[in-house]
Amino acid sequence: MNEDNSSALKKNPFDQIIDVIEWAAAIFVGLVAANIFISVFLRKFFNTSIPDSYDFGRMFLGILIFWGIAATSYRGTHITVDLLWSISRPKVQRVIDIFATLVLLLVVSVQTIMLFDKVKGTYDDHVLTYDLNLPTWPFFAIAWLGDVCAVLLIAIRTFRLITQADQFESSAH
């Protein structure tokens, strides 16, 4: 393997962080699907259910949503309205991209602060699941970590939009 190929295989730290976050989101998709499949299977064929499957399902779904926000926010694959952007010149498009990403960064940062209050409140109130009486705050904390990752990835996206627009645009779209 020559030096050019080995350097192409090495990823910078930002890209490694992004890959880990995207894999985490994929794992939570699998957990949600497994919970639903196993619950339905047990109910249909064995007339039983997983204790707290409803609580696990809603908490896994919440975790998935926040980790999904992290994954889609960086890639720019979330739902957008590009009417003005599509008719603008490239320099104006770049300004729109930077502005929109900064607004997204602000909104998700505030959301992260508010979600931390929810994690703390759930911990302080000793909220438990119905069947197994498990504390729910760890699930909320994992969802909050997804939101923290979203802030991190949006900050990386903003940095790359500002400093590496040409390289970033070709890899992100």
* 48-106 pLDDT, tens digit each: 999 999 999 999 999 999 998 888 887 766 656 677 888 888 888 888 888 988 999 99
Q: How far apart are CA 58 and CA 30, in angstroms?
A: 14
Instruction: Using the structure block, give the residue that is written with the tokens 């699930």.
Output: 139
**pLDDT score, position 84:** 82
Q: Could you tell me if 66 and 24 are in contact, meaning their C-beta atoms sit under 8 angstroms apart? A: no
On the question of pLDDT at 132 being above 50, the answer is: yes
Q: If DSSP codes are grouped into helix, strand and coil, which group holds residue 79?
A: coil
Helices (H), 47-136: 53-75, 83-86, 90-124
Q: Does the pLDDT value for residue 124 go beyond 50? A: yes
